[in-house]
Amino acid sequence: MTPDDLRSRLEAKVPTLVCIGLTAYDLTWDVEHLPRGGGKTRALNFRQGGGGMAANAAAAAARLGARVCFWGRAGDDMAGQQMVHELHALGVDVSALRLFAGARSSVSGIAVDAAGERSIVNFRGAGLPDDADWLPLDTLARCDAVLGDVRWPAGVAAAFDAARAAGIPTVLDGDVAEAAVFDTLLPRSDYAVFSEPGLAGYAPGLADDEARLRHALARGCRLAAVTRGAGGVVWTDGGTLQGQPAFAVEAVDTTGAGDVFHGALALALGVGADVADAFRFASAVAALKCTQPGGRAGVPGLARVLEALDELKEA
């Protein structure tokens, strides 16, 4: 499939995606330099709004024109209520985002420096039930792709099992997690796309990314990939290692870039793009996001991405 074919598919089909996993509330401070040690740091700006891996992926895919449902859990507190409101305002179906009384939502504090690098302190929430038997799994047969992260393994496992039974591709956002989480989710994943820390943590002691990816592949996923920031993304389905270089942009804020990448990847795979084109599309979306402040706020629209695919230069 050529880039023009991908463009035609994205312009002709509105895919339906389900994103399942973490939703969080982010408090973000822009600073000249990331804080080190004790003392005070003066912020140049302050923002707040929804975050979380799968939730950000859902917001990105909706911004790119997909029909998106978000499935997840949060506390019935101020942060949880705001998450529901924001995702709904972005056009995301939140009918399966359940708020639990007495539970506490996930909240993150983020510092972003002048070079766009970030430091995150995350409270993952408390009192959220692990049970996933309330999810509307029967609706997955009408979807084009399912994306899950590693923060709710029981929910993602149930969704991936139902998606695979219906022949729907599954995309795993492989951020840092315990090995047992990956051992549960990798056999259920079609496309397991790790962050560098996530992959290194799952395969410690192996010499390089290729060895780590083959280790993950042996656990049952159909394709294993790792995003490496400015180093691009590499992947294998058992054959030769392949890669997509990052696009050269002037980064303003990298917050949420990985989440946005995963949402764009799921969208492209959902319209039938081949793997190389899907990774190229997702890389362009993530690169353009990094040129704007904010996580979700920096996500470009589809028309801008398609235009940029002919403009962006690989690093």
Give the DSSP letter string of 12-77. Answer: H---EEEEEE--EEEEEEE-SS---SSS----SEEEEEEE-HHHHHHHHHHHTT-EEEEEEEEESS
Distance of CA 201 to the CA centre of its chain: 18
Q: Residue 163 belongs to what H/E stretch?
A: helix 153-165
Name which of 36-40, 68-72, 81-85, 259-263 the model is least confident about: 36-40
Q: What is the DSSP letter of 169?
A: -
Bridge partner residues of 252 (DSSP): none
As a whole number of angstroms, the distance between CA 276 and CA 242 comes to: 9
The answer, yes or no, to whether residue 195 has pLDDT greater than 70, is: yes
pLDDT confidence bin for 189, thresholds 50/70/90: very high
Residue 315: inside a domain: no
- Decide if 74 contacts 83 (C-beta within 8 A): yes
Q: Does residue 255 lie within any of the structural domains?
A: yes
pLDDT over threshold 90, residue 151: yes
Question: pLDDT (tens digit, 9 = 90+) per residue, 253-271?
Answer: 887 899 999 999 999 999 9
Does residue 3 have a pLDDT over 70? no
Q: Provide the β-strand partners of residue 25.
A: 50, 107
- Which pLDDT value is given to residue 253? 81
Residue 313 within any structural domain of the chain: no
The secondary structure of residue 230, as a DSSP letter, is: G
Q: Is residue 291 in some structural domain?
A: yes
Instruction: Give mean pLDDT, residues 149-163.
Output: 98
Residue 207 and residue 214 in contact, taking contact as beta carbons nearer than 8 Å? no
What does the alpha-carbon distance between residue 90 and residue 28 come to, in Å, rounded to a whole number?
Answer: 20
**Is residue 157 classed as helix, strand or coil in its secondary structure?**
helix
Domain count, the chain: 1
Tell me whether residue 232 is in a domain: yes
Question: Can you give the length of the chain in residues?
Answer: 315
The answer to whether residues 127 and 75 touch, using CB atoms and an 8 Å cutoff, is yes
Q: Are 40 and 56 in contact (CB under 8 A)?
A: no
* Burial grade of 69 (CB within 10 A; 0-12, 13-18, 19 or more): buried
Q: Domain residues for 257?
A: 3-308
Residue 210 lies in a domain: yes
53 within a domain of the structure (yes/no): yes
- pLDDT, tens only, 200-244: 999 998 989 999 999 999 999 999 999 998 899 999 999 999 999
N- to C-terminal Cα separation, the chain: 23
Least confident span in 58-67, 81-90, 116-125, 217-226 = 116-125
Q: Is the dihedral of CA 113, 116, 117, 121 positive or negative?
A: positive
Q: Which CATH number characterizes residue 56's domain?
A: 3.40.1190.20
Angle at CA 59, nearest 5°, toward 58 and 62? Answer: 85
Q: Which of the given ranges, 111-120, 159-168, 252-261, 286-295, has the highest pLDDT on average?
A: 159-168
Residue 226 lies in a domain: yes
Q: Is the pLDDT reported for residue 272 higher than 90? A: yes
